[in-house]
A and B are shown apart, each in its own frame.
Chain A
Amino acid sequence: MSRVTVRIPTPLRPHTGGADEVGLEGTTVGEVLQRLGAAHDGLLARVLTAEGEPRQFVNIYLGSRNVRGLEGMATRVSDGDVISIVPAVAGGAHKSQRTSARRA
């Protein structure tokens, strides 16, 4: 069991009571995120699919590496590691939009 820090992006901070970092224990990235979800209602659904994989508009980093390029959710963590949740951010000015698709 390793002690790691999870960085919470601004849009998800309402789920963590405003905290930008959460300290957690676990052996893999997936396990840490499941514990994060168990502690903070509603957060995990915005990050992972029902199958427990990162959503298409979210990336999970261990240090500076995307876990997709490592062993995904099974990537093992060590003491002091930092996991970052990085969703797509639209904003350049002042608003975010909700989207649906129309193929040209």
Chain B
Amino acid sequence: MREAEEIAQGSPVGACRLGRGFLELRIEEAVPDLDRPLVLMCGGGTRSLFAAEDLERMGYHRLYSVVGGFARWKAEGLPFDVPPRIDPNQRERYSRHLAIPEVGEAGQIRLLNSKVLLIGAGGLGSPAAFYLAAAGVGTLGLVDHDVVDRSNLQRQILHTDARVGSSKVASARHTLEALNPSVEVRTIEARLASENVEEILGGYDVVVDGSDNFPTRYLVNDACVKLGLPCAHGAVYRFEGQATVFWPGYPKQRGPCYRCIYPEPPPAELAPSCAEAGVLGVLPGVIGLIQAVETIKLLLDLGEPLIGRLLCYDALRGRFTELELARNPQCAYCGEHAIFPGYIDYEQFCSRAG
């Protein structure tokens, strides 16, 4: 007769864990025989007494309520067990996670209860979301305002040829739900702007930044700093990629934010031009998955996050190098005595590449 949270703490061995909320709906299926004796138990003995009255009206007549409830049962050292908190289906699906002591059942449950927001369902967001869904991250939010273009399919593996022209977040949801139906995919078909960035990012545990433009990168950074969220950052260009984790609020090691490293985006005349764009299709797979690995590490508090380190991958040389990213104590956003200066909507002049 207890709530789900109480039941999770344990029940007498062999008990039907029905709970009070759905008792009347579920009792007939659990105990079809009205003549069977029923022992009702709650936390302390009161709710079970009221439940007995309800069951009596339904036709059950051999009813017993346990005085002192589960609290007394446990105090008297009577046998109880904790219900399996992942179901057999999940146990099979995540068996290779359960086999790793660092993840195990507790870690898997943590992943199942986690919420990750992916900025962009494109080159970086596709592999990251794909593997995070496979790993059993319970809620995946996807922010993208674009539609699938045939030129995306060279690297954006969530999408398909048949979905060219449809919304990217809808296409992504299709693929992710097919892989793991238990993942809750939240689609946010919007362009991030100062007006909506906090509302969209709020409530998530980790943000994965796979955006393709400076205006979004700075908005995401500034909102993550303000909300105290870790940001798994990745960027790719032709044959080169970079990944790091920005999280000034990390309790174990205070790292920099994006603005500590690059206080302002490049002005128009010094940014790489649109004509120079292009990326090896496989490269965002490498970088997006480093972001996904870092995300899992953050969610499970495992190992050493890529905080304060920029991991650079040069695909042509086949070389990874690591650069130190230092905090800037004078940073306008995350510095010692910084007062949040507000969001900035940098405007982009480059028209969409075809």
Residues of A within 8 A of B (CB): 9-11, 14, 20, 45-46, 55-57, 59, 61, 64-66, 68-69, 84, 86-104
Contacts and interface: CB of A to CB of B under 8 A. Distances in A.
B29 to A, nearest CB: 50
27 contacts: A10-B239, A11-B237, A11-B276, A56-B263, A57-B264, A57-B270, A64-B322, A68-B326, A86-B323, A89-B237, A91-B212, A92-B124, A92-B209, A92-B211, A93-B152, A93-B284, A96-B274, A96-B350, A98-B267, A98-B268, A98-B273, A98-B350, A100-B349, A101-B344, A103-B344, A104-B194, A104-B195
B265 A99 contact: yes
Given A89-B236, A97-B350, A99-B347, 5 more contacts: A10-B239, A87-B266, A94-B152, A96-B277, A101-B345
Interface in B298-348: 310, 312, 314, 316-317, 321-326, 342-348
A90 B323 CA distance: 18
A91 B352 contact: no
Given A46-B270, A59-B261, A102-B344, A95 B238 contact: no
Which 9 pairs from chain A and chain B are nearest by CB? A104-B194, A97-B348, A93-B122, A98-B268, A93-B212, A11-B272, A89-B235, A98-B349, A88-B262
B270 A55 contact: yes
Contacts of A56: 262-264
A10 B266 contact: no
Interface stretch (B13-21, B43-51, B83-91, B213-221): B213-221
Nearest to B288: A92
A70 B346 CA distance: 31
A65 B326 CA distance: 9
Contact of A94 (B212, B215, B261): B212
A97 B215 contact: yes
Given A91-B212, A94-B151, A10 B323 contact: no
Nearest to A57: B266
A99 B348 contact: yes
- Is chain A's binding surface mostly helix, strand, loop or mixed? loop
Interface in B226-267: 234-240, 242, 261-267
B236 A91 contact: yes
Contact of A92 (B122, B326, B349): B122
B277 A91 contact: yes
A61 B189 CA distance: 39
Contacts of B214: 88, 90, 97, 99
B134 interface: no
Contacts of B323: 61, 64, 66, 84, 86
B138 interface: no
B139 interface: no
A96 B271 contact: yes
Interface in B111-143: 120, 122-125
Interface string B49-66: 000000000000000000
A66 B265 contact: no
Contacts of B272: 11, 96
Contacts of A91: 212, 235-237, 277, 279
Contacts of A55: 266, 270
A93 B262 contact: no
B69 interface: no
A104 B219 CA distance: 11
A98 to B, nearest CB: 4
Contacts of A88: 214, 261-262, 265-266
Contacts of B195: 104
B107 interface: no
A97 B322 CA distance: 26
A86 B310 contact: yes
Contacts of B345: 101-104
Interface string B126-167: 000000000000000000000000011001100000000000
B278 A99 contact: no
Nearest to A47: B270
